Amino acid sequence: MFVRIFVAVTAFSFSSLAQTAADLNNYFSSSAAPTFLKAAYKARNFEPIFSRDGHWTISINDLEAIKQAIKTHGLSGGDYKIQNVIELVQQNSATDLNTELFVAENLVKSVIHTVTGRIDPRQINDDVKYTPKEFTQWNLLATVSASTFANLYNQVSPKNKFYSTLRKILARLSDIEDRNLWANIEKPATAVQLGQSHPSIAAIKAKLNLLGYGISNESVLYDAEFDGVLKGIQLDLSVPFEKGLTKDSKTWRLINSEIRSRV
């Protein structure tokens, strides 16, 4: 429905406009044009990125690669209307200036957010002391094509060790989510102490191993190794150390958290 309505509107508004450098240059001469898009197209002398002369230059495979790249950098395709973009390309072979700009607005924005982040903390709380990052790699937009656009995410992303580690963690969590491995665990009715056994302990060990805790056995025994892992989790959560595992233990914040919230 979105695509049919969108195309109907754009066909009426821009039926006489092919997506050429001259058309884009004319569009961006208006002060109402998005600044970030103008910078992107100016870097390439206003040459189109995703379409030309009424036809798409981007394929569904290109878009799927972009969708995956967005995900691997911790962003959500839904924030950039990726599914709508895919449907637009799938269902309409003809393009115009507005369809080029619709795709560009969402995809270029996602590349910028790989560098700057999607949310400015200052919009949440005025007390946040934060200097936002600026996107400066406009030169990469000068030569990018529809088929190479997915490569931009790795090119612009931070190269420090922290970001690399964060991506590895994200990849692990995304894999857990995609394979539906994150199941809720029933809390024991009574406290389970060191040296005791309970069926939930085996499930907890397996779940923590998914996160990389490296517990050597996934038995039902609450052993010293498992106790040490729980103490480490409590330290990370900044909660007091607890003796044993109860239904009210703060450790459940991790054990039964929603995997999507962690991603």
> CATH number of the domain that 180 lies in?
1.10.101.10
What burial letters (b/e) apply to 71-86, b meaning 16+ CB within 10 Å? bebbbebeebbbebbb
Shared-domain flag, residues 69 and 191: no
pLDDT band at 35 (very low <50, low <70, confident <90, very high): very high
Q: What is the pLDDT of residue 130?
A: 60
Sequence letter at residue 13? S
Shared-domain flag, residues 95 and 176: no
Q: What is the pLDDT of residue 120?
A: 59
Shared-domain flag, residues 87 and 174: no
Contact status, residue 144 vs residue 162, Cβ threshold 8 Å:
no
Q: What's the average model confidence in pLDDT over 2-12? A: 41
Shared-domain flag, residues 146 and 18: yes
Q: What's the average model confidence in pLDDT over 91-101? A: 94
Shared-domain flag, residues 38 and 148: yes
The pairs formed by 239-242 with CB atoms below 8 angstroms and a separation of 24 or more are none
Helix (H) or strand (E) holding 224: helix 224-236
Shared-domain flag, residues 21 and 85: yes
Rounded Cα–Cα distance for residues 172 and 212 (Å): 9
Q: What's the average model confidence in pLDDT over 7-18? A: 41
pLDDT band at 121 (very low <50, low <70, confident <90, very high): low
Domain boundary among 138, 157, 176: 157
pLDDT of residue 125 exceeding 70, the answer is no
Q: What's the average model confidence in pLDDT over 203-223? A: 95
The better pLDDT of the pair 261, 86 is held by: 86
Tell me which residue of 233, 228, 262 sits closest to 250, measured CA to CA: 233
Q: What is the pLDDT of residue 18?
A: 54
Domain that holds residue 14: 2-157
Q: What is the pLDDT of residue 263?
A: 66
pLDDT of residue 225 exceeding 60, the answer is yes
Tell me which residue of 132, 137, 135 sits closest to 155, measured CA to CA: 137
What separation in angstroms does the CA of 183 have from each of 128, 200, 232? 36, 12, 22
Shared-domain flag, residues 78 and 180: no
pLDDT of residue 7 exceeding 70, the answer is no
What are the tens digits of pLDDT across the range 175-200? 888 888 898 999 999 999 999 999 99
pLDDT of residue 151 exceeding 90, the answer is yes
pLDDT of residue 37 exceeding 50, the answer is yes
Domain boundary among 133, 157, 181: 157
Shared-domain flag, residues 133 and 186: no
Kindly report the backbone phi and psi dihedral angles of residue 47, in degrees, each rounded to the nearest multiple of 5, phi listed first.
Answer: -75, 140
Q: What's the average model confidence in pLDDT over 46-63? A: 96
Tell me which residue of 198, 173, 175, 176 sits closest to 187, measured CA to CA: 198
Shared-domain flag, residues 21 and 96: yes
Q: What percent of the chain has pLDDT over 90?
A: 65
Average pLDDT over the chain, rounded to an integer: 88
**Total domains in the fold of the chain:** 2
Q: What is the pLDDT of residue 1?
A: 45
Q: What is the pLDDT of residue 177?
A: 86
Shared-domain flag, residues 30 and 135: yes
Rounded Cα–Cα distance for residues 236 and 64 (Å): 37
Shared-domain flag, residues 127 and 194: no
Tell me which residue of 98, 97, 62, 96 sits closest to 82, measured CA to CA: 62
pLDDT of residue 11 exceeding 70, the answer is no
Shared-domain flag, residues 50 and 87: yes
